[in-house]
Each structure stands twice: as structure tokens, then as C-alpha cells.
Amino acid sequence: MPQKYDYTGTYSRTGNTLEGEHRLLIAKRPPEKVTPNKPSTYLLEVQTNGQRTYLSSLYPTPTEGVFRMEKGGTWYLVNLGDAYAHVTTQTAP
């Protein structure tokens, strides 16, 4: 049975770090690694042992500061504010 993921919720934001039920880092790809399928911004998840693992690309939407991400077949909307991030589920695009 596939593992279920749930990243919904509100995260406090300090710089590129999002703290909530999960600890996430906002990261940037070098310009030469950006493609139509790999946008410039992506998320890493910080494990309890400090190890960082790739979570998902942050796909831009028409709304500034709002991105889409996908993990385990579930699509999410990520609303990034200066001091917070709010993550909700979304129907598949």
C-alpha cells in the first residue's frame, strides 16, 4: 500500500524555513537546471535526524505567492506569505 502524505496546515516562515507539522526548506535551482517541468523553486523536508530530502517542485500559479506542489499523487496549493505558509489540498490540475 502506498504511503500517505499530508502536508496541509499553517507553517510559520522565517526566511526560507517553514515550521509546522513538518519542517520544510524553500530552495532554488541554479538557472541552468530550470526546465518547463522543473521550476526554479522547490521544497526540501528536514527529517528528525537533520537529513534533507526532496519533497516537490513549487509550480507557479497565476496568483503571486501561490504555488502548486505534488507528493504521493496528492496536489497541494502553497500560499507563501512573509511570515507564514498555508498549505491546502487541491484537485489535480
Distance CA 23, CA 51 (A): 11
What does pTM read for this prediction? 0.87
Query: Is the Cβ–Cβ distance between 88 and 77 less than 8 Å?
Result: yes
CA dihedral 83, 62, 34, 78 (to 10 degrees): 40
DSSP type of residue 38: B
The yes-or-no verdict on residue 92 having pLDDT over 50 is: yes
- Model pLDDT for residues 1-46, shown as the tens digit of each residue: 455 679 999 999 999 999 999 999 999 999 999 988 889 999 999 9
- Model pLDDT for residues 36-91, shown as the tens digit of each residue: 888 999 999 999 999 999 999 999 999 999 999 999 889 999 999 999 999 999 87
pLDDT on residue 91: 77
